[in-house]
Amino acid sequence: MSRSMVRWVAPASLCALTLSLTACGGGQAPSSGPSAATSAPPAAGGAGLAIKGAGATAPYPLYQKWFDEFSKANGIQIGYESVGSGAGVKQFLAETVDFGATDSALKDDERAKFPAKRGKAIQVPTTGLFVVFAYNLDGVDNLKLSRDSFCGIVDGSIKTWNDAKIAKDNAGVNLPADPITWVHRSDGSGTTSVFTKHIEKACPNWKAGSGKSVEWPTGTGAKGNEGVTAQIQQTKGAIGYTEFSYAKENNLKMAALQNKAGEFITPTPDAAAKALTGVKIPEDFAVSVPDPEAKEAYPIVSLTWLLLYENYPDAAKVDALKNFMKWAMKDGKAAATDLGYIPLPDEVATKVLATVDGIKAAQ
């Protein structure tokens, strides 16, 4: 396979979205956002056309906003089931959807199951996102977690909030002796894949590996980013991992994490974008930065991808999908910024659109 590369452009300005991954001004609640954009031309097939997708929960607030705005501008209905990356990949391979969505790039064994009549699997990023440690702990508003601390929470060796390792990170903070409740995903999850790839790199004693599903040594499971967020909200003393926009929308507290350079980094779109600056993009866009080295980078960051077929039996759907991607890469950037995601820089978006242009109508 060709290994042509594109690099993320280092941000010259936090607000120069054409040059940067940075989302200026931080994330707002997913209920907010710009009014419907109207610049995209109607797709062939026009009003009444329905497209179905399923997959990752992490980008769901953004996808929900995008699909609603695109429908208002074009009259094309895009339905999306937020069922998790694992289920989304399965539905995509089973041809029960028009597109899949995943926070974990396709593996070789998944590509091997791709239906031959569909040509090849096309995997393109839509945005960058980042995973946070969200927590529910009264009286502790600016929690810091070193690698020793968050590794101990995840593997179950740290059991109470006033553990000496956590106390060392948070001098002067009155930490309670309450037990820690670790909350993790119970379903096959790209968010889990992103999270555990980092844990595997950052935590020397981690034994459970990485992937969409792992055998957790401790904690309680919940389905989707929605479920994890709700479980944390409802449980005093809980901490778990979820995508930033979910924590932001629900006013959950988020811990500052120690990165590879030893710095404690507060989770923000700006800090997350720094993890992707300068990263090489392979032809299949399968970027993974499990433990970024930049001094100011937030450490748990990923792209998220749409999965498309090279061949579709319906020319109207081909045109609609191409028009949607053109719209998302331009008019959709504002919503991504508002919700706390990381818009793709223009040069990456251009490569994405060139790839999507390869889908076609073929029986």
122 lies in the same domain as 155: no
Report the mean per-residue pLDDT for the chain.
89
pLDDT value, residue 234: 98
pTM to 2 decimals? Answer: 0.86
pLDDT value, residue 46: 56
Cα separation values, 327 from 36, 184, 321, 353, 357, Å: 11, 34, 10, 10, 13
Instruction: Please report, rounded to a whole number, the percentage of residues in the chain having pLDDT higher than 90.
Output: 86
124 lies in the same domain as 11: yes
pLDDT value, residue 47: 61
pLDDT value, residue 45: 44
Short-list 230, 235, 228, CA closest to 136: 235
147 lies in the same domain as 122: no
pLDDT value, residue 40: 37
115 lies in the same domain as 207: no
Both tokens of 296, joined, read 């100011």
Residue 288 lies in a domain: no
* Residues 145, 257 contacting (CB under 8 angstroms): yes
149 lies in the same domain as 270: yes
Summarize pLDDT for 7-20 with one digit per residue, the tens. 454 333 233 222 23
125 lies in the same domain as 135: no
Residue 198: which domain range? 131-275
19 lies in the same domain as 145: no
120 lies in the same domain as 186: no
Residue 206 lies in a domain: yes
Residue 284 lies in a domain: no
Residue 293 lies in a domain: no
* Residues 176, 231 contacting (CB under 8 angstroms): no
The CATH code of the domain that includes 115 is 3.40.190.10
Which residues of the chain fall below pLDDT 50? 1-7, 9-45
Residue 350 lies in a domain: yes
pLDDT value, residue 363: 65
22 lies in the same domain as 117: yes
Residue 166 lies in a domain: yes
Task: State the helix-helix crossing angle for 60-74 and 315-330, rounded to 10 degrees.
Answer: 110
Residue 286 lies in a domain: no
Number of separate domains in the chain: 2
* Residues 206, 104 contacting (CB under 8 angstroms): no
